[in-house]
Every structure is written in C-alpha cells, then in structure tokens.
Amino acid sequence: MTRSVFPNFDDRPDAILQLLLFVDRRSSSWEELQSIRRYLDTVKEAGNFALEAIDVSEQPYLAEHFKLIATPTLIKLHPEPRQRLTGANIAAQLERFWPQWQRSVDEFFQRCQTLTDNSDSRDGSSIPTCLPSLATSAEIIQLSDEVFRLKQEKEELQEQLRFKDRLMSMLAHDLRNPLTSTSIAIETLEALNRPQNHSKRDANPGLFDQLLHHARTQTRQIEQMILDVLETSQSLDGHLAIHPQKVDLATLCRDMLERQRDRCNAQNLDLKTDLPQDLPFAYADPKRIRQVVTNLLDNAMKYTPAGGTISVSLLHRTAQKIQVSISDTGPGIPFDKQQQIFDDRVRLERDEKTDGYGLGLALCLRVVRSHYGKIWVDSSPGQGSTFHFTLPVYRD
C-alpha cells in the first residue's frame, strides 16, 4: 500500500495533529484514501499534521490493537481524546471535524505554553517533543504481543511437564496392584505345574483356567494403562498420525466384542449388537478405531453394574458418514459434565476410586477428529450413556 504524500509520523515526529488511516486493498478503500488526500492538500499549508496510511493486511496487529470494526477508518491519535471516522465518505466527515481538530491543536499549544511559562523557560516557543509515534507504538505492540505469546507457550510447556510428572507418578502407583495380582497368579500357576502339585491341580481343574484368565485380564489392564499414557504423550505433542484405509466396521466391532466376551460373562453383562451386513466400508485407520472402540467398551463395562446391558450398533447415517454407537446401563453422566469429559485429564467425582487417568475419552476425541468425524455422548443421570462417533465412508 502506497502511503500518503503527506509527512508520516517518522518524517514529522513533532506533528501535533496525528492521523492514522486504516485501509484494505479494495478499490473503495483506495478511492477513500484519494479523497482524504485531496482534502488535506487544501489545508496542508496551515496544518501541523501528519498522516499515516496502514494496510490492515500488512499490519493486522495494529488493526486488532485499535479494535477496528471496518475499513477504511481514520483515527485521530493526537491530541487526546482519540476520535475515529468510519463509514461512507470519510473525507466529508473529516472536512466537518477539521475545525474542531484544529482548535484541539491550539488548546494543546496553549497548555504547552502554560507549562513553559511555569517552568521559567526562556524559549517561549518550546514544544514538548515526546509526542506519540506510530512507529514506536507499533513496535511496542508487537513486542507486547510477542511477550504475551511467549508467556502462554511457557505456561503450556510448564503444564505439560507438570502433567507428565503427575502421570508418571500415577502410573508407578497404579501399576503396582495389577502387577502384584498378575505376579501372584503366575507364581501360583507355576507352583501348580510342579510335579509334586499335579494332584492338587487335577483335583481342582477350574482353578488353573481361572488363574490363567485372571493373569491375562490384569496384563491387558497394564497394557491399556501404558498405551493410554504413550498415546496421550504423542497427541499432546501433536504427533497423532493416522493411516486410513478401507475398513469393515462390522467385522472390527465383532472382533473387539469377542475379545471382551469373557470379561462381560465374568461381570454378568448382557451384550447386544446391531451390526448390519449391508453397511458400506469406512475410510479409517483400523488400529486407531480399535483404540476408540476399546476405550468406549472399557468405560461401558467399568460403569455398568452386574446384570446390566451393553449395546453396540452401526448406522449408515448419511451418504458420507457411518455412525458407531456404544451404550451402557450405568449411572449416566451429569448434564453439565457431558462436554468436559472429552478434555484432557478430566475425571468425574464418581471416577476417583476407579483405575485410569481420565485420558481415554480425550484420546477418542483426537482420533475421531483426525478422521474428520464427530464424537459426542447422550446421557441422563441414572439412565445410562450412549457414546456416538462418526467416520467417513470409503469411496473407490
């Protein structure tokens, strides 16, 4: 943007009447600039002023600083108070206000003269030289913005470090129970497998399978804890990579449900499914979607009491989206918490005595969003919860 032919602030640091014109690259802005130039050309001989024209696309931080709502806008920076002209035909508004602005200049001179007289100055024409400069102000604004941004980045980094420290502490603490339980089960299995104890093992054949199942369950719990921590650490650093491909969601969900069937039977939970065979394929990363389904199923089983029901259904929602829904008959989620539960490290009061770190749903959110999908929950306290998420349909 070409600046005005009139002296700018750098050329006239002692200018009393300082004007700042914000324009954009539309032809109407250029025409308004020309109109203002033409008017100022008629008063330049008697006017102690400087005009600075600013293209908002080149210095947007100034537009934000002055809280512009439209362009072009003409701002009288000095003398105070500031005044702005905007809307249609700024040149005509400027002509109307010019006598008033000149009077403000005269008043400024009078104040300066009074200060000079009171200080017994021998030079009665002395004028303060500390007038505001746009160049100086712009630099200060930029530096202030940079300092603010650096402070924000510092706080975010400090919070990430504190979180990772807390996470490592929680992981070390929470791994003790499943590790101890797994260790006891394995030691008992080893003892039963010794020749001298074969008779005890044969006398109670179900004990061997029970201990083996318990060790396997606890190992999966440990694996899920570590996976949650690693995935969360990666996603916090912005490295959640996905590799989408053609995916049969019905087959994927059946596989995940089969892996959880023993746990459902142990907890006396009823599994219901609605997985149509004619669904189109999804375009998704199967590994990431398994993580989402595993997390949602794990939550459903964690909060559903014995005798409850867990349902998994698929729906061809639109031509572009497939919806996955996982329901439970647990305690439900308070209405005021249903958005917060997808945030990092958010846990409800009911969860304080359960395993986990409040990471699972935050990971689900990141995975689904990385597929350009949506995830949400429908829940009523005391009536269970249904988590839904969508994935894009695969296109040949």
User: What tens digit of pLDDT does each residue of 283-313 get?
Assistant: 999 988 998 998 899 889 988 999 999 999 9
For residues 300 and 310, is the Cβ–Cβ distance under 8 A?
yes
- Model pLDDT, residue 66: 81
- Model pLDDT, residue 124: 45
Residues with Cβ within 8 Å of residue 382, at least 6 apart in sequence: 331, 332
Whether pLDDT at 166 is above 50:
yes
Query: Which superfamily does 17-131 belong to?
Result: Glutaredoxin (3.40.30.10)
Q: Confidence band (pLDDT; 50, 70, 90) for 246? A: very high
Q: Confidence band (pLDDT; 50, 70, 90) for 358? A: very low
User: What tens digit of pLDDT does each residue of 191-225 get?
Assistant: 777 777 777 666 676 777 777 777 777 777 777 66
Q: Using N-to-C axis directions, what is the helix angle for 205-236 and 286-303, rounded to 10°?
A: 120
Q: Confidence band (pLDDT; 50, 70, 90) for 163? A: low
Whether pLDDT at 318 is above 90:
no
CA-to-CA distance for 382 and 384, rounded, in angstroms? 6
Name the CATH topology of 245-392: Heat Shock Protein 90 (3.30.565)
Whether pLDDT at 84 is above 60:
yes
Number of Cα atoms under 13 Å in the Cβ half of residue 282: 30
For residues 164 and 233, is the Cβ–Cβ distance under 8 A?
yes
- Give the rounded percent of residues in the chain with a pLDDT score beyond 70: 74
- Model pLDDT, residue 328: 95
Omega of the bond leading into 334 within 30 degrees of 0 (cis): no
Q: Confidence band (pLDDT; 50, 70, 90) for 1? A: very low
Whether pLDDT at 171 is above 80:
no
Q: Confidence band (pLDDT; 50, 70, 90) for 159? A: confident
Structure tokens at 51: 């005009």
Report, as an integer, the average pLDDT of 257-282: 90
DSSP 321-390: EEEEEEEE-SS---GGGTTGGGSTT---GGGTTSSS-S-HHHHHHHHHHHTT--EEEEE-TTS-EEEEEE
Report, as an integer, the average pLDDT of 253-259: 90
Residues with Cβ within 8 Å of residue 220, at least 6 apart in sequence: none
User: What tens digit of pLDDT does each residue of 271-288 get?
Assistant: 999 999 889 999 999 988
Q: Confidence band (pLDDT; 50, 70, 90) for 248? A: very high
Structure tokens at 292: 């989402």
- Model pLDDT, residue 244: 92
- Model pLDDT, residue 233: 60
Within the chain, how many helices (H) and strands (E) appear?
10, 11
CA-to-CA distance for 137 and 318, rounded, in angstroms? 53
For residues 311 and 274, is the Cβ–Cβ distance under 8 A?
yes
DSSP 8-state secondary structure symbol assigned to residue 19: E
Q: Confidence band (pLDDT; 50, 70, 90) for 390? A: very high
> Nearest 5°: CA angle at 230, between 227 and 233?
145
Q: Is 241 helix (H, G, I), strand (E, B) or coil?
A: coil
DSSP 253-301: HHHHHHHHHHHHHHTT-EEEEE--TTPPPEEE-HHHHHHHHHHHHHHHH
**How many other CB atoms are found less than 10 A from the CB of residue 6?**
20
Structure tokens at 395: 């296109």
